[in-house]
Structure 1
Amino acid sequence: MKTKKIHPDKVNIITLGCSKNMVDSEVLSGQLQANDLNVVHENTAADHNIVVVNTCGFIDKAKEESVNTILEQIELKQQGRLDKVYVTGCLSARYRDELVKEIPEVDDWFNTLELPLLLKRLNADYKADLVGERLLSTPAHYAYLKISEGCNRTCAFCAIPLMRGGHVSKPVEEVVAEAEKLVSMGVKEIMLIAQELTYYGLDIYKKRSLDRLLHALAEVPGLTWIRLHYAYPSRFPLEVLDVMKAHDNICKYLDMPLQHAADPVLKAMRRQITRREMETLIGNIREKIPDICLRTTLIAGFPGETREDVEVLKQFLVDMRFDRVGVFTYSHEEDTAAYALRDDVPAAEKEKRAQEIMEVQQEISYEKNREKIGRTFPVLIDKMEAGRYIGRTSHDSPEVDNEVIISGERPLPVGEFVNVKITGAYDYDLEGEVITADL
């Protein structure tokens, strides 16, 4: 006969992968809270009895991390420290049948679109009216806001459509309502995310409508910064730049993953754009908004990439002088179009090429940072760490971009804005001193 539990259930959510996964975890936690269930993110107190692992299945390293995390939780369950282990997210969506056989100790598996089913297993009801109700895993003053799900693009290297399906936009009214809710919770900055921002609205409004959405979000009282992540370069809607110019609270910041610059590689990647077209686009963007911060990501070691292609990419960085760059090594993913190609660049060579590319960008980043010395910027204070305050300018997104380091000699309000004069520059960080507090 089973005995009744002395303590009520407590659910710990472990999130791996990208910011889209983070939002999914926050929505799950909001639903659990609304059902009066005790829920935490990344609980270090180890006083929970149920774990939900929200996995990433994008590239090999992410898949390995996800599997290792699941196995760690299963070991805790076998030690009697957990009652249940559930798995959701992209890895579960992509490999559920295989994983069920390989890790039978997991209590249940769910894909990225099965939130109601996961809630049912946690003895909770899905509440469709909870727009914007989330338990933030970020600091209280910023949040990620997902404006669509899935992707209709056919990039040869990408498995996202396999895991998250086709593109589905949220209506403008729903996104605005969620933003208003976040602001009411104390959020001052939102990062708009999607697998492909510029496709927004094509499915429900029959035309690209990111500009319409931005206009509406810019009118939300109390929303100080709006930031754009993951814009596809092909057929980029330039009217978005007009909206960016028209509203001070839309950061002059654009994250546009280009992936490469050599035309043979771009064609093999199915990126639907050439190097010349990218250069023209970047020129048009900077002509409209001269002070814009451009961030991009690149892939090193795609099948068939030659040393000449790498040199083309490095020269492209020198010519374009992006503010922020991230580089990933190619991961040969089954069921993608690129999987039919021979993965002919050895792993060590991929890493070598990625390092070469980043060395080019490192010098550019240092030069751009030095140009900021003596200038004053509004800075959002994110945290205090090791006796110093860490903040960001409007040109910097959390976790991935530059930070501004400020002496902790005088108290500063975390989650608020201060004016900071830049006094020092490094490859990827700045130092500064406060001129006035609270803009």
Structure 2
Amino acid sequence: MKRKTIDFISLGCSKNLVDSEVLMGLFEANGYDVTHDSDNPQSDVVVVNTCGFIADAKEESVNTILELVKAKEEGRIKKIFVMGCLSERYLADLESEIPEVDGWYGKFNYRQLLTDLNGSKYCTGERKLTTPRHYAYIKISEGCDRHCAYCAIPLITGHHKSRPIEEILDEVRTLVKGGTTEFQVIAQELTYYGVDIYGEQRIAQLIEQMADIEGVRWIRLHYAYPTHFPWELLKVMNEKPNVCRYLDIALQHISDHMLSRMRRNTTKAETIELIKRLRKEVPGIHIRTTLMVGFPGETDEDFKELVDFVKWARFERMGAFAYSEEDGTYSAEHYEDDVPEEVKQQRLDKLMRIQQNISAEIESSKVSTTMPVVIDRTEGDYYIGRTEYCSPEVDPEVLISNTYDLKIGEMYNVHITDADEFDLYGEIVE
């Protein structure tokens, strides 16, 4: 009997990817042949996991759905189902505007899709990784209780909901048994972890226990929030060698004027003190941050403060984006989007040029050092790897000649021989 086929297309963030992997595992356990992000889907069923965060992401999601509608009309696929943030937020509009879709699911009821297709209750299945086997994303919570003026995430995902510690640890143990050694810990706001179910921040305890699991080689932390930072987490980072000296913490801006209008519940002085303390208590830490330009009311002086801050902080990893108004957010309802688009772009370009130079200097400082590197893949004439300071897909990589005989997922000592703005080059230390 021919097995049914189903292809998943996962858009947006790594938190979405985890949801897709969970559902893929369920479908595979129930007799489906499952593929992910095929270039040319030709399946019985295609499921699109959408993003609804910002305008560009929403546009990409809608365009992907429309392309699949065309494929369905041409007979290349049979059914289309949509899940995720976009359909969670705009379900009624989407149902009326794209009736060719066979079913719509939101951010939280997507497991129902398997029951609806099979006509019976589903059996459980292990999460099916779409990443290389040696690393995985671990989602420790959903939702967010912060209410930043520009952000639609709380409107989509609701209040912060932590997963119990033991449930997360069990997932890590299962993945380790399957060969996973590196874990990117993700949440919309991981520093708030545990407050809703334990009455206090428990992120340090969670990471400490995760680090003690045999076989866990690296743990990397994503999406912290600067207010009420749990300082005990830095103690764990120092004491546990498999907790990477890496922190992803979105700061958004530095001027008190902007931080107040953004409803960030912090100040310039507190942010500067945070950066100083992170660097003092975890020597060598690599900080990844995200900044925003063009928020309503941003003046030339506000932007100058931001530029000066970036030059002072010298972030090892930094991304930036221009403000775009999102329906239903505080800023959309209370502020005029008054910074011209060309000014936003000019500010964004200037900020990223400064960061490019900083990044080049930081990466160049690693030349002539030797660092542990995990190998992710091969590409052209190179093996592509990462150090503890590099998260998959978003950070600089290490390129090593493919004249060596290296294994994907294994770690090697690499002598760094050269660098550019975003990548390192190295040789294996025999």
> For the superposition of Structure 1 and Structure 2, which TM-score range results when normalised by the shorter chain?
over 0.9
Please name the residue that 2:284 is paired with.
291
Local SS of the residue matching 2:100: coil
Instruction: Pick from 20, 27, 30 the counterpart of residue 25 of structure 2.
Output: 30
Is it true that 1:262 corresponds to 2:262 in the alignment?
no
Q: TM-score, normalised by structure 2?
A: 0.97
Shift in CA distance, 216/125, structure 1 to aligned 2, threshold 3 Å: farther
Local SS of the residue matching 1:52: strand
CA contact (8 A) 1:391 1:404 kept: yes
What are the ranges of 5 or more consecutive residues in structure 2 without an aligned counterpart?
none
Stretch deviating more after TM superposition (204-213 or 38-47): 38-47
Give the Cα separation in 1 of the matches to 2:341 and 2:79: 37
Local SS of the residue matching 2:196: coil
Please name the residue that 2:359 is paired with.
365
Which one-letter code corresponds to 2:20 in the other structure?
Answer: S
Aligned ranges 1:15-414 → 2 under 5 Å: 15-44=10-39, 46-123=41-118, 130=125, 133-340=126-333, 341-414=335-408
Give the Cα separation in 2 of the matches to 1:298 and 1:14: 28
Which one-letter code corresponds to 2:59 in the other structure?
Answer: E
Shift in CA distance, 345/11, structure 1 to aligned 2, threshold 3 Å: same
CA contact (8 A) 2:23 2:111 kept: no
How far has the Cα of 1:44 moved from its partner? Answer: 3.6
What are the ranges of 5 or more consecutive residues in structure 1 without an aligned counterpart?
1-5
Give the Cα separation in 1 of the matches to 2:267 and 2:408: 44
Give the Cα separation in 1 of the matches to 2:394 and 2:239: 26
Shift in CA distance, 128/198, structure 1 to aligned 2, threshold 3 Å: farther
Shift in CA distance, 229/303, structure 1 to aligned 2, threshold 3 Å: same
Local SS of the residue matching 1:48: coil
CA RMSD after TM alignment = 1.3
Give the Cα separation in 1 of the matches to 2:2 and 2:43: 10
How far has the Cα of 1:7 moved from its partner? Answer: 4.2
CA contact (8 A) 2:4 2:31 kept: no
Which one-letter code corresponds to 1:68 in the other structure?
Answer: N
CA contact (8 A) 2:30 2:123 kept: no
Which one-letter code corresponds to 1:177 in the other structure?
Answer: D
CA contact (8 A) 1:116 1:125 kept: no
User: Per-residue displacement from partner, 1:58-100 (whole Å, max 9, x unpaired)?
Assistant: 0000000000000000001111111110000000001111111
User: Per-residue displacement from partner, 1:252-282 (whole Å, max 9, x unpaired)?
Assistant: 1000000111111111110001111011011
CA contact (8 A) 2:287 2:316 kept: yes
Give the Cα separation in 2 of the matches to 1:152 and 1:46: 38
Shift in CA distance, 256/127, structure 1 to aligned 2, threshold 3 Å: farther
Shift in CA distance, 206/386, structure 1 to aligned 2, threshold 3 Å: same
Which one-letter code corresponds to 1:196 in the other structure?
Answer: E
User: Per-residue displacement from partner, 1:15-47 (whole Å, max 9, x unpaired)?
Assistant: 000000000000010111121222111124644
How far has the Cα of 1:348 moved from its partner? Answer: 2.6
Which one-letter code corresponds to 2:416 in the other structure?
Answer: I
Local SS of the residue matching 2:17: helix
Local SS of the residue matching 1:85: strand
Give the Cα separation in 1 of the matches to 2:111 and 2:80: 17
Shift in CA distance, 122/351, structure 1 to aligned 2, threshold 3 Å: farther
Q: TM-score, normalised by structure 1?
A: 0.95
Shift in CA distance, 142/219, structure 1 to aligned 2, threshold 3 Å: same
Give the Cα separation in 1 of the matches to 2:375 and 2:30: 34
How far has the Cα of 1:121 moved from its partner? Answer: 2.3
Give the Cα separation in 2 of the matches to 1:151 and 1:429: 34
Which one-letter code corresponds to 1:357 in the other structure?
Answer: L
Runs of 4 or more, structure 1, over 6 Å off, are none
